[in-house]
Amino acid sequence: DAGITQSPRHKVTETGTPVTLRCHQTENHRYMYWYRQDPGHGLRLIHYSYGVKDTDKGEVSDGYSVSRSKTEDFLLTLESATSSQTSVYFCAISEGTSGSTDTQYFGPGTRLTVL
């Protein structure tokens, strides 16, 4: 998985609790992304980062926040988890933007269940 790890790999939590997912890369790539994958939907971008402390929103950012204090780490936080945030979350990295022909490498995913 191209030097990308996600933690935890599985998590069950209750509605209203905060949750933080971590993505760690060893490739020193500039761009990092958080996606969610749900049945019947393509992968959807939540947030992305184009450098340390530089982040931007994706198409489904409501209810999520991110932080990137180091090149290698990109954190996704659900401030108050809801059942609609039950999903599989993927982190991805790339050297260049999505508009370039640089490959996006995906992590193994985190399965989050909100009860």
Partner 1 sequence: KNQVEQSPQSLIILEGKNCTLQCNYTVSPFSNLRWYKQDTGRGPVSLTIMTFSENTKSNGRYTATLDADTKQSSLHITASQLSDSASYICVVSVYNTDKLIFGTGTRLQVFP
| Binding status of residue 78 toward partner 1 by CB under 8 A | no
Q: Count residues contacting partner 1 (CB under 8 A)?
A: 25
> Whose CA is closest to 2, among 91, 97, 98, 112?
91
Place of tokens 């933690």: 7
Q: In angstroms, what is the minimal distance from the CB of 16 to partner 1?
A: 28
Based on the shown chain and the rule CB under 8 A, indicate whether residue 74 belongs to the binding site for partner 1: no
Minimum distance from residue 63 beta carbon to partner 1 (Å): 20
Smallest separation (angstroms) from partner 1 to the CB of 94: 10
CA-based nearest residue to 8, from 110, 113, 77: 110
Q: Are 73 and 20 in contact (CB under 8 A)?
A: no
Radius of gyration of the chain (CA): 13
Residues of this chain that bind partner 1 (CB under 8 A): 1, 4, 31, 40-45, 48, 50, 56, 90, 92, 97-99, 101, 103-109
